[in-house]
Amino acid sequence: MDKNVVGWFEIPASNMERAIKFYEAVFGYKLERHQMGPLDMAWFPSKEDGVGSPGTLVYHAEAYKPSMDGTLVYFTAPSGDLSNELARVEPNGGKVLVPRTQISEDYGFMAVIRDTEGNRVALHSRE
């Protein structure tokens, strides 16, 4: 059995260059781009034995559309304090929808943002 319930996630993009630039600027890591026929993907970094699940930004002219509705993906803040990543959202073209909010003392903090593509995504950290 895998360690994570979620095995893969895909976040739609309507402009892959803009989406890659946004996520790399906010989270501070490099995405690995793969063009596979009509699919254009930019994979988020992952480790086989790490916490979390691998995923990608994805562009396809007909099959994917950014949305503020539906599933909400939570990114673990690489810095350990989502305030750092949250501070880079609006200067890079995104919008903070729900500011840093404590979930509880046991679970830490969360925030919700809109990315440059029009997707609603969330951030989480213990600090």
Handedness of CA 86, 88, 91, 93 (dihedral sign): negative
> In percent, how much of the chain has pLDDT > 90?
84
User: pTM here?
Assistant: 0.90
pLDDT at 53: 81
Domains of the chain with bracketed CATH: 9-125 (3.10.180.10)
pLDDT digits (tens, 9 = 90+) for 55-103: 999 999 999 999 999 999 999 999 999 999 999 999 999 999 999 999 9
Tokens (6 digits) for 46? 């992952």
